[in-house]
Chains A and B, each alone.
Chain A
Amino acid sequence: MGAYRADEDYDYLFKVVLIGDSGVGKSNLLSRFTRNEFSLESKSTIGVEFATRSIHVDDKVVKAQIWDTAGQERYRAITSAYYRGAVGALLVYDVTRHVTFENVERWLKELRDHTDSNIVIMLVGNKADLRHLRAVTTEDAKAFAERENTFFMETSALESLNVENAFTEVLTQIYRVVSRKALEVGDDPAALPKGQTINVGDDVSAMKKVGCCSA
């Protein structure tokens, strides 16, 4: 990933994944952050999409490559590779649908099973603009985040509330982790944390084999 250089110049490239149940607003968070766009008429995401945006942290340019995927469980098998190399994650639920909050635990488990332990995770309660429909209290979510040692923020992609903050916070935290690691290693500042190449689940390698052999 360090070798990946696009047209623009950057000091760090961080892969961040968006996860969470179907319809919680992952794609709109992505479009709000990367293109400042929001669509009430969005379609469900099939497979995987990603977008990038660069921000400044300290005096460095941090380029975020943000991956968005279908929320339906069926797509998990094919997108386990999705987690590979991720150094940050926004775990999104919908504050108006409690079941999406209940499922956060499962998402968290899957995330931790497939990524490095240094990954920066933020729990995101989206659709905070729908105040009259709220089904998950801020306190419950905050308590959960503290227990699970993740960051937490409530956002509204529609009202552009906290979206910038959520991504920026995650990227800044990743930057702190990486630069601390770099200090420890003592050399190449562009190197990502040692844990970058991660144990990917067995099912993924099995799947890759299928893909290669039968191509």
Chain B
Amino acid sequence: MKNNHNISSSLDSRFNQTLNNVQGLLKGRSIPGKILLTRRTDPPEDPSLQEHSPSFGRSFSENDVGTSDRIDMSRECTSSFTSSCDLDILGVLIAYLLCTYGYAPPNSDRREGVLRRKRLEYLDCVAQFYDIPDTERSDDEINMLRQISVDCPRTVPDVTFFQQEQVQKSLERILYAWAIRHPASGYVQGINDLATPFLVVFLSEYLEGDIDNWSMDDLSPDKISDIEADCYWCLSKLLDGMQDHYTFAQPGIQRRV
């Protein structure tokens, strides 16, 4: 994570770059999850965000005053892209961004601790469930991993960055870890699309310029696993609110049609 000074000096350009990348990614795409998300032109004040994981909610309220300028900026940024459903997702992303990683002043020791713990938890999960031979997996798990590995190369296929093997592997680990930890639904096609905006947002903290010029080789393995962990937890939070869109017979979707 960057320190405070770095953040303030380059915040504007980085933030706009991130927005551009995410917006470009979402443009013209249909994201299955978007129907559940309501517009959040003022994400940080949305009460539902406070209840996201205890750590995320708490860290935000602790930093409430200090981040007001950034909040205003996010409002400005989001309201400039009006009348698009993509905005809703963008809003959520920005809210996460603001209240959890990097963009809020890291004045809370507790939050640092929580971050460290969450990242370790993700690493453990990957070590325990992903980095094992197929002989230790059940048939269902093998099928799930196969499905994920079929879908990762087909995720955002029109953006060359996502064709990099390391990106696809990161995505595979995130999705598999999520699937293992959420057996009620497991991995369902379409969830891959929900993970990608988080990946872009968190990577943009470390990779400069246009997404077409990004390379995973510029990141250390530790950094990559931190980013994966952050994506994993954000994806988990996002899906927590709509898991029954993905369970058998998709009752969540049935209710909405």
Contact = CB atoms under 8 A, between A and B. Distances in A.
Contact of A22 (B151, B157, B254): B151
Contacts of A215: 257
Contacts of A45: 189
A207 B150 contact: no
A42 B255 CA distance: 30
Interface stretch (B113-121, B164-172, B212-220, B244-252): B244-252
The binding surface of chain A is classed by DSSP as loop
A17 B249 CA distance: 20
Given A44-B190, A75-B188, A77-B250, 15 more contacts: A22-B150, A23-B150, A41-B157, A42-B154, A42-B157, A43-B154, A43-B155, A44-B154, A44-B189, A46-B32, A46-B189, A74-B185, A74-B246, A78-B249, A78-B253
B212 to A, nearest CB: 15
Contacts of B154: 23, 42-44
B257 A211 contact: yes
A66 B139 CA distance: 32
A46 B190 contact: yes
Contacts of B190: 44, 46
B98 to A, nearest CB: 30
13 contacts: A22-B147, A23-B154, A42-B154, A43-B154, A46-B189, A73-B143, A74-B185, A74-B186, A74-B189, A74-B248, A78-B253, A99-B146, A210-B249
A42 B151 CA distance: 10
Contact of A75 (B151, B157, B189): B189
Contacts of B109: none
A78 B32 CA distance: 15
Contacts of A46: 30, 32, 189-190
B158 A41 contact: yes
A214 B254 contact: yes
A99 B143 CA distance: 10
Interface residues of B, number: 26
A197 interface: no
Nearest to B150: A23
Contacts of B158: 41
Nearest to B153: A23
Contacts of A73: 143
B167 to A, nearest CB: 15
Contact of A77 (B185, B249, B255): B249
Nearest to A24: B150
A209 B47 CA distance: 35
A23 B188 CA distance: 14
Interface string B215-237: 00000000000000000000000
Interface string A5-45: 00000000000000000110000000000000000111111
Contacts of B155: 43
Contacts of A99: 146
Sorted nearest first, the 10 A-B pairs with minimum C-beta distance are A41-B157, A23-B150, A77-B249, A72-B189, A46-B190, A74-B188, A44-B189, A22-B150, A211-B254, A44-B154
Nearest to B146: A99
Interface in A104-122: none
